[in-house]
Amino acid sequence: MNTQTEDPVEIASKSDSDTSAVVVFLHNKGGLTFDIVNTTRSKSAVLEHVKWILPPAPVIPVTIRMQAETRAWFDVRTSESMADPAPEKEDEARILQSMATIDALLTKIVASGVDPSRIVLGGFSQGGAIALLTGLSTSRKLAGLIVLSARLPLRHQFRSMVSSHASSIPIFWGHGTADTAVSYELGRAAADYLVNEIGVPPAPYPGAPEGLDFHTYDGLPHYISDEELTDLASWLGTILPQ
């Protein structure tokens, strides 16, 4: 069993010498996908200066898959489809370890010369959850966060984890109404919690480069749609201008 994370996959900007911004994107339970990079790039020519970094999760046994080993940022011990697991059912140790791994990656990116204000951190499903937790607790104020079809783990202790600048980080949040893996209601409740309890303001308009920009996709299951990527590309263009 490979419980150690491997080196991230890096997809250079169209002109690597002109790289001035980075998107770190975390995959869902199961493995890497490059589709989001290629499709998002095709949606907007203004993102050619952006480098993408795709870190792989470790391979671990997953309880709800009868201990089958797969890439996952943390174990899933009970269904997450309709409600957050009870605190004792959360894999707190692996969640915190994954957060530390991503925070160390951010440290490395900043050390390479990229300012935190030019870094967007995001992910899909489990990846979105880890991106959200890390992005709102790290000491660095990032350019923005991407949360796709995800929930908020460790909510019972999250308030004590958030950084002083958490409420001022722009967040793009997309979720489909037909999601049966992480229900739309669960994602919506997590977003509302950030607004009502953490003080993250709602975006003043769709696509705004400020606040929590929540997008609802009617009929979309646990998947990233073409419409969602179009919206995401537009948002990224405002968050990471050339």
Q: Which of 13, 98, 125, 183 is catalytic?
A: 125
Rounded CA separation 98/58 (Å): 9
All residues at 6 or more sequence positions from 117 whose CB lies less than 8 Å from its CB, including other chains: 141, 142, 143
Catalytic annotation present for 125: yes
Q: Which of 13, 91, 222, 231 is catalytic?
A: 222
Rounded CA separation 8/55 (Å): 4
Catalytic annotation present for 218: no
Q: How big is the CA angle at 123 (ends 119 and 127), to the nearest 5 degrees?
A: 125
CB hemisphere CA count around 173 (13 angstroms)? 27
Q: Which of 75, 84, 91, 179 is catalytic?
A: 179
Q: Which of 232, 188, 178, 196 is nearest to 39 (CA)?
A: 232
Give the chain's end-to-end CA distance (angstroms, integer). Answer: 42
Nearest 5°: phi and psi at 237? -60, -30
Catalytic annotation present for 84: no
Query: Cβ atoms within 10 A of the Cβ of 203, count?
Result: 20
- What H or E segment, with its residue span, contains residue 129? helix 126-137
Catalytic residue set: 125, 179, 222
